[in-house]
Structure 1
Amino acid sequence: MRGTLVDRYRARLEDSLARYDVSLPWWLPTCTTVMNATGVIAALAQRHALFPPAPIALAGLLILVRFMFWPVTGNLIPPVLGAIAVLIGVPILLTDPVTPDFAPVLLVLLATEVAAIASLTLAITVTCLSIAELIVAQVWNGLSGYPVYIVAVLLGLSGGVTLRWYHRALNAERGKQDAAREQAILAERQRIAREVHDVVAHSLSITLLHLTGARHGLQQDRDIDEAVEALTEAERVGRAAMADIRRTVGLLASTSSGTRPLPGIDDVAGLVERTRAAGLDVRYEQDGDLSVVGASAGLGLYRIAQESLANIAKHAPTASGRVRLRVDAEGTTLTIRNTLPGGAAAATASGSGIAGMTARATQLGADLRAGPSGGYWVVEVAVPGPPQRKADTDTRQEVTP
């Protein structure tokens, strides 16, 4: 029950603070209220006027009544009204000065409070009026130690302003962190979406090629063995795609999705071979030592090759293509080109594949070029990288039908 009451009090007070665009913690105004009430009671006790009908007791009630505004209305008292109540009540208390006097402490707390929650103009005005009241009290009633009280009021103003700007800077920093976190989440979602898109697009394209081959084998050639072989290969590609999707989606989970590594640069050759086995006329060429290519660059290049081959299978299944991977002292270059049937360029350019490949290339710090060139559709991405570790490495591998 106690926790519930405290939670309700905290929520109500924070809501009231938010209406004034004040981001101070709830306990700070609570402590200020307690300190003000303590100061009023102490000042009245010094003057032996805790209760009416003593005239000075009415000044204490005037100061305390501002703290009843929030419990009654649910809203904080406007800073101007609160300041007026204190600026009227304290001079009445100072008509009967004592040593030491708690009444000037109320002016110190007022300067701090107004500076923390109100405008700087109002805070300076309240501070000047407070200092003027202290000077008048010293001149008329002989207030002892008034220079110390004046310095304390100025320090209260400085502390309130510092507190206000500190919380503004803290809120700004929190806003930046929230924005950065949202951008990081969005970037991660986009990365996983690209992974899923690449896997699904390529796998479906290859599966459709196998299914088309199976249908032709049954309809035209009546070759059941050929159809079964094509269907078996389509099943294998589908299962591999499901494994890749589970592994990619598993990146979102807190538990491991498996120990199978993500594809890399060494898997490009197998990717081309599987695509060629599905009926696409594509060749693979390799120059250089692939071992110098990093894992992130290898995965990015693999996905770009995967998306490019999927686009060929989707938009130009009868075209012939070539995948060339070159690693030299300047970096790694992947080139995919295919003959360009009529209309294929427009169809390829209208999809989301190029945007995804461009995003991957940007992440790798690479340059990507995609478009028609001399009767071919060419996708070329150049990843800058360290020089080869083996200067005499010059291996070439070519896979032909």
Structure 2
Amino acid sequence: MTGFTTNAGAGLWRRIERAGGDYPPLYPAVILSSSVVVTLVSTAQRFPFDQIWWVVAALALAALTLVMDLTLPPTSYACFGIIASSVCFLMIPTPTDAAPLQLVLMTAIAAAMYPLLTGIAVTVVCIAVIVWFGAVGGLDSPALYALGVACGWLIGYMMLIQKRLADNRARVLAERADRAAGDERRRIAREIHDVIAHSLSITMLNVTGARRVLEQDRDVEEALDALADAERQGRQAMTEIRTIVHVLGTAGPAGTTSPSPGADDLVRLVEDYRKAGVDIDFTLAGDVTELSRPVGAALYRIAQESLANVVKHSAGKRASVSVSVSDAVALTVENPAAQGRPRHCDGTGIEGMTQRAALLGGTLHASHRAGTWTVRATLPARSIADGVPV
């Protein structure tokens, strides 16, 4: 029995929620309860029911309207059902009549839930009913009731405006959240792309070098050195990937990750590619240790992606890398490209590098000219906001 009562109560609450449309369920609950109370008070005021049929008609129309509210989607026809019920009550004049309060409630509902013209139409009909019964039906203080109807419309319309403002704000916040999620996905994609591209490029070069040494020179020691470098790169890539996963909140205990590489690691990056067999002419002018962390991380990632592209696309495994630090940071990476046609790529790496530079207020340009592929990046010595994720 208790379960049946609970289910019935939950079902009634769901119906009340539906009756309120997009408004909080407390709103329709209060309005429907107030309507029931006004109907009962209006009925009690007409006791001992000298004209019983008007009372019966009023109660029937009020009950029908309540059933419509609880069973059908919100509709303006319910308002006119209550207006008809109020007319039946007003056919039996009584001092200090509560029946016109139904008209006040219906006007507020119409203004809050339905289009503007519908709300105005309901308001005009309610005022017309009050004026008519005030003139010929014996209704006391019709001006006061008409003022109540006007106030009801104003309150309902203010609620409608407030709801629209809240909906607009919710939509703006949802759009901001979507943009932030999209930016974060792109940032993570850039990080994973750079880590994997760099690691696989060096690993494959080392493995290829080890195979050739074993096939041609039978130099086991040199092959083991190349394989050790490949293993180190793989472990480093796994560590960086774990760092990214930890940022996402799904990694293991704190302390198992390492900081992201920065400008201080440029020399190590170049040496890794040199060990893997890439001939790199590296020049550094200025002190990279003075760079802010976001700028240093972006500089490292752009150089890393550019060198990975050298391995994947260059006509010869050689490149020149120059870094200049002054009021701004300039990075230039050049490598041979196939003569007569631009280097083919899917654009993912270039787009990622361009986004990194733009986030810090810098620029990046990639070009193919006279058999040389060139990437030039210019970054501010300090980022627009040192907290910008790169």
Say whether the fold is shared (TM-score over 0.5): yes
Residue 160 (structure 1) aligns with = 156
Corresponding residue of 1:393: none
Write the distance in 1 (CA, Å) between the matches of 2:340 and 2:352. Answer: 21
Match of 1:239 among 235, 240, 247: 235
Which whole-Å deviations, capped at 9, do the CAs of 1:52-109 have from their partners, x for residues lacking one?
94533322322232102244xx313631x22222222222322333332211101100
Where does residue 211 of structure 1 map in the other structure? 207
AA paired with 2:22? S
SS in 2 for 1:106: helix
Q: Does 1:336 align with 2:333?
A: yes
Counterpart CA distance in 2 for 1:304 and 1:3 is 63
2:320 corresponds to which of 312, 319, 322: 322
> Within 5 A, what are the aligned runs for 1:185-204?
185-204=181-200
1:292 and 2:290 equivalent? yes
Please show how residues 2-401 of structure 1 align to structure 2 within 5 Å: 5-15=8-18, 22-48=21-47, 53-71=52-70, 74-76=71-73, 78-79=75-76, 81-253=77-249, 256=254, 258-316=256-314, 318-329=316-327, 331-342=328-339, 345-347=342-344, 349-385=345-381
Q: Aligned AA for 1:306? A: Q
- Deviation at 1:283? 2.3
Counterpart of 2:308, as a letter, is A
- RCO higher in structure (CA 8 A, sep ≥6): 1
Q: CA deviation at 1:386?
A: 5.2
Contact conserved, 2:54 with 2:91, CA < 8 A, in 1? no
**2:325 is aligned with what amino acid?**
V
Contact 1:334 1:380 in 2 (8 A): yes
1:261-315 alpha-carbon deviations (Å, 9 max, x no partner): 1111111111111111111001221111223311111111111111111010112
SS in 2 for 1:110: helix
Counterpart secondary structure, 2:277: coil
Distance in 1 between residues matched to 2:247 and 2:271, nearest whole Å: 28
Structure 1 residues 77 and 232: alpha-carbon distance in aligned structure 2, compared to 1, 3 A threshold: closer
Conservation of the 8 A alpha-carbon contact between 2:287 and 2:325: yes
- Deviation for aligned residue 1:238: 0.8
TM-score by length of 1: 0.88
Q: CA deviation at 1:4?
A: 5.0
Aligned residue type for 1:139: A
**How big is the alpha-carbon RMSD for the aligned residues of Structure 1 and Structure 2?**
2.3
CA contact under 8 A between 2:246 and 2:257: conserved in structure 1? Answer: no
Partner secondary structure for residue 100 of structure 1: coil
What per-residue deviation string (whole Å, max 9, x for no partner) do you get for residues 93-132 of structure 1? 2233333221110110010011111121121111111111
Comparing 281-290 and 44-53, the one that deviates more: 44-53
CA distance in 2, matches of 1:51, 1:198: 89
1: CA distance, partners of 2:6 / 2:312 = 63
Q: What's the secondary structure of 2:273's corresponding residue?
A: helix
Q: Is the 8 A contact 1:192 1:249 kept in 2?
A: no
How far 1:385 moved relative to its partner? Answer: 3.5
Alignment partners' CA distance in 1, 2:123 and 2:55:
23
1:179–1:207: structure 2 CA closer, same or farther, 3 Å change rule? same
Q: Distance in 2 between matches of 1:247 and 1:219?
A: 38
- Greater shift in the superposed pair: 103-112 or 163-172: 163-172
Residue 50 of structure 1 and its aligned partner are, at CA, apart by: 7.1
* 8 Å Cα contact 1:44/1:57 also seen in 2: no
Deviation at 1:364, TM superposition (A): 1.7
- 1:325 is paired with a residue of what secondary structure? strand
2:94 match: secondary structure: coil
Helix, strand or coil at the partner of 1:346? coil
Are 2:62 and 2:81, in contact at CA under 8 Å, matched by a contact in 1? Answer: yes
Q: Contact 2:68–2:78 at 8 Å: present in 1 too?
A: no
Secondary structure, counterpart of 1:370 in structure 2 = strand
Q: 2 CA distance for matches of 1:282 and 1:360?
A: 24
Is the CA contact 1:280–1:317 (under 8 Å) kept in the aligned structure 2? Answer: no
User: Residues 9, 325 of structure 1: CA spacing in aligned structure 2 closer, same or farther, 3 A cutoff?
Assistant: farther
How much does 1:11 deviate? 3.9
What amino acid is the match of 1:78? T
**Equivalent pair of 1:323/1:335 in contact (CA under 8 Å):** yes
Q: CA deviation at 1:6?
A: 4.6
Name the % identity: 33
Q: Residue 279 of structure 1: SS of its match in structure 2?
A: coil
Secondary structure of the structure 2 residue equivalent to 1:285: strand
Assess, with a 3 A threshold, how the Cα gap between structure 1 residues 12 and 284 changes in structure 2: closer, same or farther.
farther
